[in-house]
A = this chain, B = another copy of it.
């Protein structure tokens, strides 16, 4: 990483105020006062920008102009060299592995386009958030650099194998940083792939890139590390903002959560279930959970690629359903309690589903998001069951991942038997 990319204006102002990286400073701009630690400059920054770490842990980028005032409050507490040296392992602290997969949490604003591009290395993140190192011995590894909309089943297998490797190496907890778009598909995939895992595996994303003042990356990461260090929880979960403010994060169940908002920090919601825990000032649990047993895991890392997901809607073409004829599994996202159009001009759809259901496993979920699938209430549901459609009372995204996982690891007969067994909390026993 190159340093000292500042413009002559910024360099002059820093020189005049005798400010160096790591110093505690005050910036006064347009009458507003911002106090914090000056962070290292980055090659990607606007050259007139400095990044200041606030006491809240958040970083804020400030563009300097001639009128901006800079004041040094205190010198850096440690020498730069010291800060950059690898952390010395403290035998009294737990060891947490941070596995990076890409996404906004590892992204920066591209000041040329105003957009966001993937950029941070794991080392950058640790440098930006030194607080994490106070909680635990951290090891960090870049598995891939993929925006989560591009994640494929083979990525799930790769992450699951890497997690299992870290478990065998004896770490106390694992953080997987991940884009948020499909984070809930991946959380389900890891929950299924890593049976009886004896340590916490926490997926963490961010809705705002880490170099933005408004980034949620710090609190999400920090809360996840705290949760790994301060509790005896074992299993896969998600850690994201509990609300739009910065009071707390939720630890969310991997197979009952969903990205339900495209932009808010609290985008992830539990559906028909409760969070596992809340990480605020204290850590509060809402659910029973498995306790830590370091080193334990059974790995089932395969996912059958010929499994589809199809949302049904008025006027859908029967030929679209026929597309899945060569598939091994198909999850339908039906309407209401789990219905498909089958009468009043939709008879060809009924015949297409019937033909597919003879060859492959066809599971019915609901596009309502909330509420049960129940195909015994209406005649439509009963007719669909009669031709082999299996009611599947899970989130559609989880049903897709589960069916691909079952077919990938256990074969068709077992998959059919196991589809409606509650293996990882994916089926709600008592609805809220």
Enumerate chain B residues within 8 angstroms of A261, measured Cβ to Cβ.
Answer: 368-371
| A117 CB contact (under 8 Å) in B146, B335, B346, B379 | B379
**Quick one: CB contact mask for A299-336 with B, threshold 8 Å, 1 for yes?**
00001010111111111110110010000000001111
Answer whether residue A245 sits at the interface, using C-beta atoms and an 8 A cutoff: no
How many copies of the chain does the oligomer comprise? 2
| A336 CB contact (under 8 Å) in B185, B262, B338, B372 | B262
Contact A335 B263 (CB under 8 A): no
Contact A346 B305 (CB under 8 A): no
**Quick one: CB contact mask for A249-291 with B, threshold 8 Å, 1 for yes?**
0000000000111111001000000000000000000000000
Enumerate chain B residues within 8 angstroms of A77, measured Cβ to Cβ.
Answer: none
Contact B262 A370 (CB under 8 A): yes
Answer whether residue A92 sits at the interface, using C-beta atoms and an 8 A cutoff: no
Q: Determine the distance from Cα of A397 to Cα of B343 in the docked complex, in whole angstroms.
A: 21
CB proximity of A110 to chain B, nearest CB, Å: 8
**Quick one: CB contact mask for A147-168 with B, threshold 8 Å, 1 for yes?**
1111111111000000000000
Contact A263 B372 (CB under 8 A): yes
Answer whether residue A360 sits at the interface, using C-beta atoms and an 8 A cutoff: no
CB proximity of A116 to chain B, nearest CB, Å: 5
Q: Determine the distance from Cα of A147 to Cα of B384 in the docked complex, in whole angstroms.
A: 14
Contact B374 A263 (CB under 8 A): yes
Contact A181 B315 (CB under 8 A): no
| A147 CB contact (under 8 Å) in B147, B182, B313, B380 | B380
Contact A313 B185 (CB under 8 A): yes
Answer whether residue A337 sits at the interface, using C-beta atoms and an 8 A cutoff: yes
**Tier of interface size on chain A:** 35 or more
Enumerate chain B residues within 8 angstroms of A180, measured Cβ to Cβ.
Answer: 336
Answer whether residue A91 sits at the interface, using C-beta atoms and an 8 A cutoff: no
**Quick one: CB contact mask for A376-390 with B, threshold 8 Å, 1 for yes?**
111111100000000
Answer whether residue A113 sits at the interface, using C-beta atoms and an 8 A cutoff: yes
| A341 CB contact (under 8 Å) in B152, B323, B369, B378 | B152
Answer whether residue A220 sits at the interface, using C-beta atoms and an 8 A cutoff: no
Enumerate chain B residues within 8 angstroms of A323, measured Cβ to Cβ.
Answer: 319-320, 323
Q: Determine the distance from Cα of A357 to Cα of B119 in the docked complex, in whole angstroms.
A: 30
Enumerate chain B residues within 8 angstroms of A156, measured Cβ to Cβ.
Answer: 314
- Extra A-B contacts (11), CB below 8 Å, given A147-B343, A264-B371: A104-B378, A115-B382, A117-B379, A144-B344, A150-B343, A152-B315, A156-B314, A259-B335, A259-B336, A260-B368, A308-B320
